[in-house]
Structure 1
């Protein structure tokens, strides 16, 4: 454990944040990874599954901004710990909930905790790395999401098929509890807020900087909406093509594990070359084309390999964009605005995709939607 009077190693702090945030990706992916079990247990269709997937992010639309302000008032570490407790409580409701309304309730509660974790941890990384290796550090931080999702795709179907849905959801809760213990015992807050608090209690930002921040938030929202089409609906798409649940989830996880490699590479290249815009644009266009192709090809594994290699390049540079216009004084609220837009996108996209799947009866409809959103980004 690091004492408060010691100067913390920023890379160690990034590692602690990374490992704690893995639990969020793991919990988010639980519904999609266990979709046949949820469908059978609660007699729900694709639209209801899409709602259940999207609800995890839904509290972000209203919680992201207040969460940032509460973090400034009570301390980021305390509020993140509270958020992880909410994730545990919501996970327990889902594990023992006997009907669909209880699943919805648990998903919202857990999602509210995840929002708090996500917003404040992004601010924590920026506090430690603003102005130096910000794209690389944000790329590593962002990597915790695909690591958590990929782990869920590999672990939860095995637990669910052998021990049942309840034990699979309890596995999620146990992992979050371990992450909470690690975070609370190891993380040390940087002192940047002491300077910010002395300057002003109000959020101040220029019109130009606010516009840039909003544009960055929209790009991040569309980018993650495209990823959500893979994470949430690729297993369903492959099941429709006759694949087994384990094979469908394992194949989908190819994107995640290759993104684990490409995300920090994209961040490193952006910092090294200074060509953030070029890397973001190239990654989004390539991802869009490949996602569209994946809807009507038999070379699924090859396409997923390419998606994993190219899609991840943009993550770090996009997440680093807010640091270019935010100062320590407005950083918490600014990142709250940035992630509020992200949450709007990732909430609406799975719901819309689920409705498209049922309306068109085309298993690839979600991929076409994701491709369009990526081009708009």
Structure 2
């Protein structure tokens, strides 16, 4: 790759991280204000969970078409359209006079955000195909933790002072600024560099095979667990006597650990590989610590930090592994499959956890459901590891 392109790709990575940060703020704008929304609209916990689940529902339907369109027409046109839909949906949430209007807004925001979250890793994989994929994905994966930390601490504080609508408006204004930056400054890799990278890597990749579905299902199970945790942990901690601000900070410790460790994990997998085993270890660690949280008398912050350390092993490895198992020219479709299955997990997870809370009146079952999802993330990715190991042995 030419020297100017090498320098440019780090600038592009910074732009893409800002895009992911805006996605994180939109997506995670509900958990820190959930107690206030439940109170104002007299909602059950199942209904409140719908505000997270219905954000993910459109992604189940639009992810594959969005990935194919991005493969055909490029990242930028799809990204611009995605930003506009996300902004429209968030605007409706900020102004919604009823619970039904909030649901409509979250669905529209989910359509835009689901498409956006396909194009961002696709763009990174295009720009970093020749080298530094792990560290690039590690840096990219700090954006979601940073956004979640800002949301759980900053938005919860804003909601407490100025009301929950002010917190949502803050996400709208920030996303509008990032949209302008992306629309004006983002560009595709040069055609010459794309062909060079493709020639170097595609001989070791499938077009679209079964491996990407194993990666996608493990990603879905991880997100079913972690999004359910972010959705209900603040309310659980408030029920145990914490203030809203304290509960938001304690929950954000999951993402603080992930933010700090993601680039390190990226560097390590660049050196040694073994992405499947990193994912498996992370899922198992999450399952153990999440299952223990409701039964402890205190030290919630410590256990949430441990969940964060375990979860940090997964996103970087998943996004890097996805780029390993699909061909360069099908990256959009590959990440579309990843996003589609991710949205299945985000749709199912909060509803299942919220329903468990409503049926039992306790969060004990909800946390066991989250742990179950994390454990089966490990089982799924180990199945892929065995499959690929067997294929490698057969080719010797």
Instruction: Give the TM-score normalised by structure 2.
Output: 0.87
SS in 2 for 1:98: coil
Structure 1 stretch 57-66 or stretch 136-145: which is displaced more? 136-145
Distance 1:106 1:8 in 2: 39
Alpha carbons 1:193, 1:329 under 8 Å: kept? no
Q: CA 1:310 to 1:69, structure 2 compared with 1: closer, same or farther past 3 Å?
A: same
Distance 1:6 1:14 in 2: 12
Instruction: Write the mapping of 1:165-204 to structure 2, written as runs, cut at 5 A.
Output: 165-191=164-190
| Partner residue, 1:261 | 260
User: 1:104 offset after TM fit, Å?
Assistant: 0.4
Structure 2 residues not aligned, in runs of 5+: 199-203, 378-396
Instruction: Write the mapping of 1:1-377 to structure 2, written as runs, cut at 5 A.
Output: 9-191=8-190, 210-297=209-296, 298-377=298-377
| Partner residue, 2:389 | none
User: 1:170 offset after TM fit, Å?
Assistant: 0.9
Alpha carbons 1:146, 1:257 under 8 Å: kept? yes
User: 1:191 offset after TM fit, Å?
Assistant: 3.6
Distance 1:134 1:42 in 2: 45
Alpha carbons 1:89, 1:109 under 8 Å: kept? yes
Structure 1 stretch 98-107 or stretch 82-91: which is displaced more? 82-91
- Pairwise CA RMSD: 2.2
User: 1:274 offset after TM fit, Å?
Assistant: 2.1
User: 1:276 offset after TM fit, Å?
Assistant: 2.0
Distance 1:173 1:332 in 2: 27
Structure 1 residues not aligned, in runs of 5+: 200-204
Q: CA 1:185 to 1:276, structure 2 compared with 1: closer, same or farther past 3 Å?
A: same
Distance 2:279 2:334 in 1: 21
User: 1:192 offset after TM fit, Å?
Assistant: 5.3
User: 1:187 offset after TM fit, Å?
Assistant: 1.6
Distance 1:325 1:276 in 2: 12
SS in 2 for 1:321: helix
User: 1:321 offset after TM fit, Å?
Assistant: 1.1
Distance 1:161 1:23 in 2: 22
Alpha carbons 1:220, 1:319 under 8 Å: kept? no
Q: CA 1:268 to 1:101, structure 2 compared with 1: closer, same or farther past 3 Å?
A: same
Distance 1:94 1:26 in 2: 13
Structure 1 stretch 44-53 or stretch 160-169: which is displaced more? 160-169
Distance 1:164 1:112 in 2: 26
The count of corresponding residues between Structure 1 and Structure 2 is 366
Q: CA 1:206 to 1:323, structure 2 compared with 1: closer, same or farther past 3 Å?
A: closer
Q: CA 1:78 to 1:7, structure 2 compared with 1: closer, same or farther past 3 Å?
A: farther
SS in 2 for 1:210: coil
User: 1:213 offset after TM fit, Å?
Assistant: 0.7
SS in 2 for 1:58: helix
Instruction: Give the TM-score normalised by structure 1.
Output: 0.92
Distance 1:74 1:277 in 2: 32
SS in 1 for 2:142: helix
